[in-house]
Structure formats: C-alpha cells, structure tokens
Amino acid sequence: MKAYLGLYTARLETPARSLKEKRALIKPALERLKARFPVSAARLYGLDAWGFEVVGFSVLGNDPAWVEATLREAARFLAQNGGFRVALEEYRLEAFELDGLL
C-alpha cells in the first residue's frame, strides 16, 4: 500500500508597498485556503521583501488522483482569492510505501 504526498509551491507577486500590507494580502489568503481545503500551508521565503513571497502547501492521502485534484483545486482557489499574482508555480506528487507499517 502507498501514501501520496502532493506539494505545491508558488511565487506570489504583490502590489504591496510595505511588509505589513503584503502580510495583510497573503496571510488571510492562506487562512482561507486552509479553512476550505485539507492542506497544510506555509509562507516559505521572501518574508522580508514586500514585492513577492514564496508560499507552499501540501496534501496527503491514499488516492493519487484525489491528492492531485485537491492540490490543483486549492492552487486555483489561492490564485483567484488574493490580491496578488501567481508568477511561478510548481506541483509535485510523491509516493511512499507503507508496507513496513502494515
């Protein structure tokens, strides 16, 4: 049996003129994402830059089709529900054997 981990990372570009303004755009968008989808999300890089930030989230499950679909739906939701532009994005799906646990 396998478990599947879906990873999404994106560079978000913002019109913010300060770190406080940028945080007010990105942090609520990630909170809405986590409230709507079964993901774990984090701000990863660019926390000290006000023009961009790299964020990521992950999904874990036993069905690769569900993991990938959830990842893509969540990415679409994030892009449509924030005051920023998704400049670059990357999807990854990893499989892990569970045989040692069964």
pTM assigned to the model: 0.91
Place domain 2-97 in its CATH homologous superfamily: TT1725-like (3.30.70.1120)
> Mean pLDDT by 10-residue block, N- to C-terminus, for the chain (102 residues)?
96 94 94 97 94 97 97 96 93 92 70
CA–CA distances in Å: residue 36 to residues 20, 57, 74, 83: 24, 13, 8, 18
Domain regions of the chain by residue span = 2-97
For residue 102, the model assigns a pLDDT of 67
Q: Are 22 and 14 spatial neighbours (Cβ–Cβ below 8 Å)?
A: yes
